[in-house]
Structure 1
Amino acid sequence: MMSLIVFTVLALLLLVATLLPLSRNPHWLVRGMDFPRLQLAVLAAILLAAEVVLLDLSHPLGLISLGVTSFCLFWQIWWILPYTPFWPVEVKAAIDDNPERALSIITANVLTPNRNADALLALVQKCKPDVLVTLESDQWWQDRLDVLAEQMPHSIKCPLDNLYGMHVYSRLPLSEVTVDYLVEEDVPSMHALLTLRDGSNVRMHFLHPAPPSPTENPESAERDAELVVVARSVASSDQPVIVTGDLNDVAWSATTRLFRKLSGLLDPRVGRGMYNTFHADYRIARWPLDHLFHSDHFTVRSIERMPHIGSDHFALLTRLVYAPVRGADQNGLEADGDDRGWADEVADAKDVEASDTPRPGKEFSIYWVNSISKCKKY
């Protein structure tokens, strides 16, 4: 009888962890349960196997425990399955070898106290990305990364000491650049128009919203609001669009799915893999926090998680090809009325609007009048 009680309690605890994310409560503990879905699925599988072997399934408690654990296992798998090769890809594989239409981006949260800049610079020299995006980069990091200026002469710089510094180094021209503070006054985002080698322009948004955590924001409201306003700002754009950065949210969470639904952007990882980028030092506690989403103008050549650079994040290398004809029938997630209502609540809670987000390109001149273009110091 004791084993029945123990297994039932474990199954119920697993059920609580499984059901918590269904709530839209922004508290960090609730939102944090979005992250370890893979780990919870593994725990559920282990518990289920133990129940089958050890429990008296003729007892009602045994059946309840088995049923609850089975539900938890299949529910967690449902969320993470799209990020495995068992799911159809959302973005087509690139077939165009024209380098004029290629775009490669390394997205790297360097971890401010990390002083292994040589490792990141070695990655850049090896992979030769068109764009390097760094998060948590302060003045020390800027001083080291500026050696890239000769090969990557176009840049956006915002060195900060508060873990939200950000830099962009690019081989390709950047224009209509702004550094903005969309939701929080000390958390910047960057926005620019990038010109490909064939002359096509791509609207770029580089983000690093603050995470919900007991040491930073106790709720996810700020992060969610930034994702919502950026998503809404690109939704009606007919330009090629890329959004990348450390979003401090996992790929399968309800809030990241809301971002994809509102924006219409695609996730090239769907059907290919999770590409877990955090935590670099703990194999059993990893999930995908660093992202790149794009419009259907692109197909994907490759996605690769980079080797350890001393940070708590792995860098992510994404190689895309601008192929609007081939990508025209690619479809992502679609928003419904409930999604739009939820987005209204998120934006209203922080008093932000889609018009607060810069729109590099044909609408940019209108926005520029009120743009905050300088990097604030904290």
Structure 2
Amino acid sequence: MAILIAVNLFQLAFVVIPFSRHEAWWIRVFDFPRLQTFCLGCLLLIVELFVLDLTQTISYLPLAMTALFLLAQGWWIYPYTKLASAEVKWAKPAKDSARVSLLCCNVLTPNREAKRLLKLVDEWQPDLLVTLESDDWWEEQLESLTEQYPHSVKCPLDNLYGMHVYSRLPFEDSQLQFLVEDNVPSIHVLVRLAGQPVRIHFLHPAPPSPTENDESTERDGELMRVAKYIRERQQQKDVPTIVAGDLNDVAWSATTRLFRKVSGLLDPRVGRGMWNSFHAKWWFARWPLDHIFHSDHFTLVKLCRLPPMGSDHFPIYTQLQLAPSRRNEQDGLDLEGDEKAWAEEKIEQVENGNGAS
């Protein structure tokens, strides 16, 4: 009995600690394994039902603690199951539908299996390809895409934050920016789809970790700056918008939810699944790190996790369809309480403390 209660108290820490808004990496890491701990909680519940004497009232204490834990963790991951309602509608067949497809791939800098990625590009034929962690070697390997993808923005780096974007669609505007940290780029482009301008942001902020940033300040600040920019631009000029990349944050975290609330963007995974993209080689430790969010101008045609290509991330392929007539069918998350002030606070932290450009 005492052992089971101790295990439950340890388990409940995985629920309580993430409620803290403290940005230390060792606190934010609790955001990630909610699915894994939920599964372990299910196993614990089965063990308790077998070993506890249910004729004794005291036996219901560990059972109640486990049930509370499962409800709490389940609340976070529930939207990313098929039990929830889909946030983004499936696209309807249309003769002259305007569609755009993206393939997002964190290639892992030391990975040397470029041919596997090139094969996926050839097979899936995305309109845009973004590679993360791509350095000079990767740029050289991807040179063969130039004819097929004549429009590109390239930022090869050997610090695990290089980024390349290749596109069939011409860029009406393209910007390489370092929003928060001098060595962490982001790429922002404007393309035209069936005459309609579409703005796309590609991000890869640094994670909070003992080997990167001690806190999530930089990651959160970059996400909030982009979210605020999108919100303000949407208010000024209503332009279809997409955000894609490895955000080094899980889909269900409070900060990713805040990003969605501030930006007003939708998540096509809600009501469909998690699409766990990391870690490609550890089946027991996977969570959704690679994301695509979009404005309600789009409906979903296809979303899939592609086969591994030597990286620690799976590539993610997404195809969206412009469907402005269906905007009123799709609703995202609303800002609540002090969340706008919380987002502004995160922006001020990087602008005042980290010399953001």
Tell me which interval the TM-score lies in, with the shorter structure as reference length.
Answer: over 0.9
Is the counterpart of residue 160 in structure 1 residue 157 in structure 2? yes
Residue deviations 1:141-189 (CA, integer Å, cap 9, x gap): 0011111011111101000000000000001111221111111111000
Residue 346 (structure 1) shift: 1.1
Indicate if the aligned counterparts of 1:159 and 1:166 stay in contact, CA closer than 8 A. yes
Which residues in structure 2 correspond to 1:87-236 (within 5 Å)? 87-98=84-95, 101-196=98-193, 198-236=194-232
Counterpart of 2:336? 336
State the 1:59 CA deviation: 5.2
Matches within 5 A, 1:252-291: 252-291=252-291
Secondary structure of residue in 1 paired with 2:137: helix
Superposed displacement of residue 61, structure 1: 5.2
SS at match of 1:70: helix
Of residues 63-72 and 271-280 in structure 1, the stretch that sits farther from structure 2 once superposed is 63-72
| 1:7 matched to 2:4 | yes
Aligned partner letter, 1:292: I
Tell me which amino acid in the other structure corresponds to 2:211. T
Once structures 1 and 2 are overlaid, which stretch shifts more, 57-66 or 256-265?
A: 57-66
User: Post-superposition shift, 1:53?
Assistant: 1.3
- Matched residue of 2:35: which SS? helix
Whole-angstrom CA distance in 2 between matches of 1:100 and 1:178: 28
Deviations 1:37-90 (A, max 9, x none): 100100111111111111234556533221111111111111111111111100
**SS of structure 1 residue aligned to 2:326:** coil
Q: Counterpart of 1:138 in structure 2: which amino acid?
A: D
The more displaced of 169-178 and 208-217 is 169-178
In 2, Cα distance between equivalents of 1:324 and 1:56: 59
Matched residue SS, 2:17: helix
1:17 deviates by: 1.3
SS in 2 for 1:233: helix
In structure 2, distance between residues paired with 1:206 and 1:99: 27
2:62 is aligned, of 65, 78, 83, to: 65
TM-score, with structure 1 as normaliser:
0.90
Q: Distance in 2 between matches of 1:302 and 1:178?
A: 28
CA distance in 1 between counterparts of 2:264 and 2:352 reads 20
Q: Aligned equivalents of 1:232 and 1:329: distance in 2?
A: 24
Task: Tell me which of 22, 28, 36 is aligned to 1:25.
Answer: 22
SS of aligned partner of 1:167: strand
Letter in 2 for 1:216: E
Separation in 1, partners of 2:34, 2:87 = 21
Contact 1:104 1:317 in 2 (8 A): yes
Residue 362 of structure 1 is matched in structure 2 by: none
The verdict on how the C-alpha distance between 1:97 and 1:122 changes in structure 2, with shifts beyond 3 A counting, is farther
**Unpaired runs of 5+ in structure 1?**
357-371, 373-378
Query: What's 1:364 paired with?
Result: none
Residue correspondences, number: 351
**Aligned residue type for 1:204:** I
State the distance in 1 between where 2:189 and 2:161 align: 18
Is the contact between residue 96 and residue 321 of structure 1 (CA under 8 Å) also seen in structure 2?
A: no
Aligned to 1:351, the other structure's residue is in SS state: helix
- Residues 181-221 of structure 1, C-alpha deviation per residue, up to 9 Å, x if partnerless? 1111110001110122x121101110000011111011111
Does residue 317 (structure 1) correspond to residue 335 (structure 2)? The answer is no
